[in-house]
Amino acid sequence: MASIETESVEQVDKVTLRVLVDKEKNKVVYAEAGKDFVDVLFSFLTLPLGTIARLVAKEDSNIEAFQFGSISSLYQSVSDLDEQYICSQNCKEMLLQPRNSMEAYCRQFKLNIDDTEPMQYFVCENLNCRRKERGCLLSIFRNQKCYCGRVLDREVFPKCLNIEKGFVKENATFIICDDLCVMPNVFGASLNLLQKLGVDTIDAIEELSVDIDKKQVVDLLKLSLISKTPLTDYILKKNQSVDNLNLRNNVEFLIGELTSDEDRQMSVKVMLRKSNEQVLFVEAEADFIDVVFSLLTFPLGGVLHMLQGFSSLSGIDNLYKSLSDLSPDIYLMSEGLKDKLCKPHCATQFELRNQILPIGATSLPMNYCHTYYDYTSRRSATDLTKEIFYSRNNNISEEKFVPFELVHPKSSTAKSSFAKGPSMYMVTDDLFVSPMSSISTVSFLKRSKVTLSDLEERVIKIGVKEGLGILKASLISTSALTIGLNQFIKTDKDIQVSTSAFSAPQGVVTPESNSEALGIDNGQSWSVRLPDGSSGTQVVDVPRSPLVEDLPLPPNIQPQKPSMNVAKKVSL
Ligand SMILES: [Zn+2]
């Protein structure tokens, strides 16, 4: 690796980045990095949302702790929930320490930030149980019972995990832009970038060398969720405020046409504050709560896949798009790996029977329980393997492969769920889940300062679209229910008003690209018809805002008199 040096000093693993900085603008132009750093950057996509909520809450960091949308309060509510409302202690642990389905990859990284304990596998102490033709029970918790009544507590280790060494090829080097776009390191790309950023004289550019350790990778993860320029903010230590994200200004929050599978819908009662259409809370049964809880187990990349690359977290969207654009032949370890990274599944134990969202679960990496007598150590041995091997010490008769069967950790009744019915639950706007109680509800309403006449209850069906709406909003807002369900609760008339929050009443033409399956409008521009100053009108393409912020206007609108009227309205 020519462009990157790695070293280990005082046992703190670190990676060195070479960074080009525009001194005049005090801005990072780009960084150059090799495998060690880029693997870690892509590993952000493998992190379950619950893990991210835990990492961004870390105080031990240069970036202040913050709430990750509504995911942080959801995480807190699971932590607070009394055990009687959750299937088992295992469930709680699974949700609070969600497994990364690609943990075997991430563990190889020098700067792996997923601090979840490694997965453990347990079988029965009784050798006969491990050799049963019908299968050997395998548990990922030490407290599950075997057929024979004993606790499954003998730890075994998987063998033959034929996984690639990381994500990108060993000698590949990359350019990482300020907004986390990752590109192959060719001079053409960097020249393009310099020109695009308006860097005219090479003299304005300075080279820096920056060491990054694990703690700083957490900083970068935090910044990638709240900043449009994470590298500048990180390297030049610009003041970073978590308040950048204010989804209320985002007019492009729409989930469009998707086929809704009526069989996979669930009814919930929505308590609305009529005056501003805020969802105060949802009252729901365990099936909906399971879906809400399961958000904690979704890997970020899987979320991006479901949202077709548009999560509204611009740095993460760029990272995901870069990965999708990289050639698996040249830059990534394999095509299969690219597929796994672009559509990461939940870890196997998180598969939910009534999941409404289109995410799968991985299968465990090994299929057989292999038992044999080890003549060297003179005792019987057990491995978990993917393949059947023959002829070990010519003692085939002693050797046995039987399939293993995962003991479902969620509940003893094998129902795939987290929440325990038949209780009713209350979910507040920021996805805080608690058991339903009329008295707590009254005090909640009191705290919310809502008058009883301002309350309205509606029953709505939650299917895939509604679920994706909540998921998308949960990443960037503490009003996941209000924003996520907004378009499904409103009447047609309301929708017309709200989607034109752009609110230029006459003259605004609808967005051109409304055909993206999820309707998450990320087209390049709006066409706006404006008076041209004489008698007619002109059509002006207005670039879209990539993130929230003020709505962008082309420079030629604002100063011109005839446009002032519209410009005022547009800038809200
Ligand atoms: Zn047993």
Of the given ranges (14-18, 91-95, 503-507), which has the lowest mean pLDDT?
503-507
Q: Where are the domains of the chain?
A: 6-66+165-242+302-341, 500-570
Please write the tens of the pLDDT for every residue from 210-221.
999 888 899 999
Please write the tens of the pLDDT for every residue from 180-224.
999 998 877 778 887 787 777 778 888 989 999 888 899 999 989
Question: What distance in Å separates the CA atoms of residue 177 and residue 193, rounded to the nearest whole number?
Answer: 8
Residue 136 CA to ligand 1 centre (angstroms): 9
pLDDT on residue 517: 36
Residue 148 CA to ligand 1 centre (angstroms): 4
Residue 129 CA to ligand 1 centre (angstroms): 5
Could you please report the per-residue DSSP string of 379-433? EEEEEEESS----STT-GGG-EEEEEEEPPSS-TT----SB-TT--EEEETT--E
Residue 400 CA to ligand 1 centre (angstroms): 16
Is residue 38's pLDDT more than 90?
Answer: yes
Please write the tens of the pLDDT for every residue from 333-345.
888 888 888 888 8
Question: What distance in Å separates the CA atoms of residue 178 and residue 459, rounded to the nearest whole number?
Answer: 45
474 vs 53, 113, 432, CA distance in Å?
11, 22, 11
- Helix then strand then coil, % of the chain, to nearest 5: 35, 20, 45
Residue 121 CA to ligand 1 centre (angstroms): 15
Is residue 47's pLDDT more than 90?
Answer: yes
Q: What is the mean pLDDT of residues 110-124?
A: 86
pLDDT on residue 510: 34
Please write the tens of the pLDDT for every residue from 324-335.
998 888 888 888
Residue 150 CA to ligand 1 centre (angstroms): 6
pLDDT on residue 297: 92
Counting Cα atoms < 13 Å in the Cβ hemisphere of 437 gives 8
Residue 132 CA to ligand 1 centre (angstroms): 10
pLDDT on residue 405: 80
pLDDT on residue 295: 95
% residues pLDDT > 70 (the chain)? 75
Residue 147 CA to ligand 1 centre (angstroms): 5
State which of 208-217, 234-243, 409-418, 503-512 shows the largest mean pLDDT: 208-217
Q: How many CB atoms lie within 10 A of CB 483?
A: 24
Question: What distance in Å separates the CA atoms of residue 185 and residue 398, rounded to the nearest whole number?
Answer: 54
Question: What distance in Å separates the CA atoms of residue 128 and residue 130, rounded to the nearest whole number?
Answer: 5
The token pair that represents 427 in the structure block: 């979910």
Residue 401 CA to ligand 1 centre (angstroms): 16
Residue 130 CA to ligand 1 centre (angstroms): 7
Residue 385 CA to ligand 1 centre (angstroms): 20
Residue 368 CA to ligand 1 centre (angstroms): 16
DSSP-assigned letter for residue 447: H
Contact status, residue 460 vs residue 267, Cβ threshold 8 Å: yes
Band of pLDDT at residue 11, cut at 50, 70 and 90: low
Of the given ranges (62-71, 140-149, 198-207, 443-452), which has the lowest mean pLDDT?
198-207
Residue 369 CA to ligand 1 centre (angstroms): 14
Cα angle for residues 55, 359, 268 (degrees, 5° grid) = 90
Is residue 64's pLDDT more than 70?
Answer: yes
Mean pLDDT of the chain: 76
pLDDT on residue 501: 34
Residue 91 CA to ligand 1 centre (angstroms): 23
pTM comes to 0.77
Pairing state between β 400-406 and 136-138: parallel
Cα angle for residues 157, 159, 164 (degrees, 5° grid) = 120
Question: What distance in Å separates the CA atoms of residue 448 and residue 71, rounded to the nearest whole number?
Answer: 21
Residue 351 CA to ligand 1 centre (angstroms): 25
Band of pLDDT at residue 241, cut at 50, 70 and 90: low
Residue 131 CA to ligand 1 centre (angstroms): 10
Residue 145 CA to ligand 1 centre (angstroms): 8
Task: Check whether the bond before 435 is cis (ω within 30° of 0).
Answer: no
pLDDT on residue 392: 54
pLDDT on residue 535: 43
Band of pLDDT at residue 490, cut at 50, 70 and 90: low
**Who's near 90: CB < 8 A, 6+ residues apart?**
141, 143, 409, 410
Pairing state between β 136-138 and 433-435: unpaired
Q: What is the mean pLDDT of residues 355-360?
A: 84
Contact status, residue 499 vs residue 521, Cβ threshold 8 Å: no
Q: What is the mean pLDDT of residues 537-554?
A: 36
Residue 545 CA to ligand 1 centre (angstroms): 60
pLDDT on residue 549: 33
Q: What is the mean pLDDT of residues 42-55?
A: 94
Contact status, residue 404 vs residue 368, Cβ threshold 8 Å: yes
Of the given ranges (104-118, 146-160, 399-413), which has the lowest mean pLDDT?
399-413
Residue 124 CA to ligand 1 centre (angstroms): 5
- What is the C-alpha R_g of the chain? 27
Residue 125 CA to ligand 1 centre (angstroms): 7
Residue 155 CA to ligand 1 centre (angstroms): 13
